[in-house]
Chains A and B, each alone.
Chain A
Amino acid sequence: EVQLVESGGVVVQPGGSLRLSCAASGFTFDDYAMHWVRQAPGKGLEWVSLISWDGGSTYYADSVKGRFTISRDNSKNSLYLQMNSLRAEDTALYYCAKDSLEGSSGWYGYNYFDYWGQGTLVTVSS
């Protein structure tokens, strides 16, 4: 059974930093790209970042580019999101999600998210 368990969400002040983690199990982690997707309170889904199966390629939404860094440790079956210079508008539930394509390194026009974690809440407030 595929499981994705996020952690690390807390209340942080504007301008602060935070590192989210996602522990994966139930599939061959280093075969798949992974994503972070966020959802602000009462709002829709927003894709945040993608990392290829080997960590060699990363992609970001314009809203977080230059502030967030996605990474992975395949030896630990773990995905990370380093979040710096946090803003109030970054307040959201952050989900990690597994890419549908084995060996994927980016967007191909038909990728989707076949498994999601339960999310971890990040609140940016003074």
Chain B
Amino acid sequence: QSVLTQPPSVSGAPGQRVTISCTGSSSNIGAGYDVHWYQQLPGTAPKLLIYGNSNRPSGVPDRFSGSKSGTSASLAITGLQAEDEADYYCQSYDSSLSAPNVFGTGTKVTVL
């Protein structure tokens, strides 16, 4: 059971904006540790989407944006496209755990 909680699914029509939350606690996101996001397209390996809360690697469209506030972080997808249908995972560091790297529970984005 992960310490980072995400909604199991979100959906939206093409062109819409969707957001995915990643809720943590005072020992991880709330402690100021960075949040990173990964996109996993069907049948493929995860790919880095956002690092350091809000930074996009080269090649990631600016439709994807990340933010963090308090004990939560969010990934927003604006102008939703069919190819955005995938699983999305947040990742952070938890100082209370012996294995401090933690992934979120994952969110399936469906494009209607």
Binding site for B on A (CB under 8 A): 37, 44-47, 50, 59-62, 95, 100, 107-119
B45 near A109: Cβ-Cβ < 8 Å: no
Scan B42-72; emit 1 where CB is below 8 A from any A CB, else 0.
0011111001100001000000000000000
B9 within 8 A of A: no
In the bound complex, how far is the Cα of B63 from the Cα of A125, in angstroms?
A: 43
In the bound complex, how far is the Cα of B38 from the Cα of A60, in angstroms?
A: 22
B93 near A107: Cβ-Cβ < 8 Å: yes
In the bound complex, how far is the Cα of B101 from the Cα of A107, in angstroms?
A: 7
Q: Can you spell out 23 A-B residue pairs with CB atoms less than 8 angstroms apart?
A: A37-B46, A44-B89, A45-B91, A45-B103, A45-B106, A47-B102, A50-B101, A62-B98, A62-B99, A95-B46, A107-B100, A109-B33, A109-B95, A110-B33, A110-B93, A111-B93, A112-B91, A113-B46, A113-B48, A116-B45, A116-B47, A118-B44, A118-B45
CB contacts (< 8 Å) of B78 on chain A: these are: none
B93 near A109: Cβ-Cβ < 8 Å: yes
How many chain B residues sit at the interface, stated as a range, is 20 to 34
CB contacts (< 8 Å) of B36 on chain A: these are: 112-113
CB contacts (< 8 Å) of B38 on chain A: these are: 45, 113
B34 within 8 A of A: yes
B96 within 8 A of A: no
B11 within 8 A of A: no
CB contacts (< 8 Å) of A117 on chain B: these are: 45
Q: Report the minimum CB–CB distance from A91 to chain B (whole Å).
A: 18
CB contacts (< 8 Å) of B44 on chain A: these are: 118
B45 near A119: Cβ-Cβ < 8 Å: yes
- Name the residue among A60, A114, A117 with the largest chain B CB count within 10 angstroms: A114
Q: Report the minimum CB–CB distance from A13 to chain B (whole Å).
A: 27
CB contacts (< 8 Å) of B89 on chain A: these are: 44-45
In the bound complex, how far is the Cα of B51 from the Cα of A118, in angstroms?
A: 20
CB contacts (< 8 Å) of A50 on chain B: these are: 101
What 11 additional pairs, Cβ within 8 angstroms, besides A47-B102, A112-B91, A114-B48? A44-B89, A47-B101, A107-B93, A107-B100, A112-B48, A112-B52, A113-B46, A113-B48, A115-B48, A116-B45, A116-B46
